[in-house]
Structure 1
């Protein structure tokens, strides 16, 4: 098993996994074809990886990506007590079903924590599904605040 940061050569596999991840949670039918999604996703993630907007950590088994976790670096607005700090938004954590409960996700989340620490992030946030709360608690995340949102429908 190899754990590493994703590169642009991984884009097709990451797009396929994102498509699979969407349907595993019984999400609504897509509004676009798989081909359109793959093209849009690949273009978006290529730009995001090249600009450092997103970092993706992956687990690879025999040349196939079997798990991933995304982290987005977000700048905070400077304030007198903290001139410039960043935090990380963790999302899109997915492991193929056949590889679950083997500690792979734990190893990936540890890499995210190490990365965030080396980048001097102030904190990490995540909006976990109910079934993922235990996973994040084991990784040291704590429920801290209630989030409010406004959606444009």
Structure 2
């Protein structure tokens, strides 16, 4: 088996969205709303303006892994003087292909994109399954992360 890595293009967006929804469900999302239109609009808009990048892992004609990085900017701070941040998302590997280093290779590629974009930091809300990968890669926990739902 030869795994290939390619950037997400508009051609794969429907499959990419399906895998994103599958990932959210695996992580425990129970909401019954149709996210497809909102995800399509988000990815198309942010791919076009360069503030979302993704790498896909392929086995032949099948997409078996995904990654995503959104670029955002906030006022510079000491931990990130550029103010540019990467928000990692859409890290998903087909269950049959897990524990083969695919997620690590995808992660490497989107981190490289964030570095090239000028990001000073990358954040992720990790699933239980992903914590080991991110910790091994050098991500550290930020115990004060909080969220307020509107």
TM exceeding 0.5: yes
Runs of 4 or more consecutive aligned structure 1 residues displaced over 6 Å after TM superposition: 79-83
Q: How does 1:44-55 map to 2 (within 5 A)?
A: 44-55=42-53
Listed one character per residue, the Cα deviations across residues 48-78 of structure 1 (whole Å, up to 9, x for unaligned) are 2111221111111112211111111111214
1:65 to 63, 75, 81: 63
TM-score, scaled relative to structure 1: 0.84
How much does 1:30 deviate?
1.8
Structure 2 residue ranges without an equivalent (≥5): none
How much does 1:79 deviate?
6.3
1:17 to 19, 29, 32: 19
CA distance in 2 between counterparts of 1:75 and 1:51 reads 14
Match of residue 128 from structure 2 = 130
Flag the 1:93–1:80 CA change in 2: closer, same or farther, 3 A.
closer
Q: How does 1:2-151 map to 2 (within 5 A)?
A: 2-32=4-34, 37-78=35-76, 84-151=82-149
94-103 or 46-55, larger mean C-alpha shift? 46-55
Structure label with greater radius of gyration: 1
* RMSD over equivalenced CA pairs, Å: 2.2
How much does 1:132 deviate?
1.7
The count of residues paired between Structure 1 and Structure 2 equals 148
Structure 1 residue ranges without an equivalent (≥5): none
CA distance in 1 between counterparts of 2:79 and 2:14 reads 43
Flag the 1:118–1:44 CA change in 2: closer, same or farther, 3 A.
closer
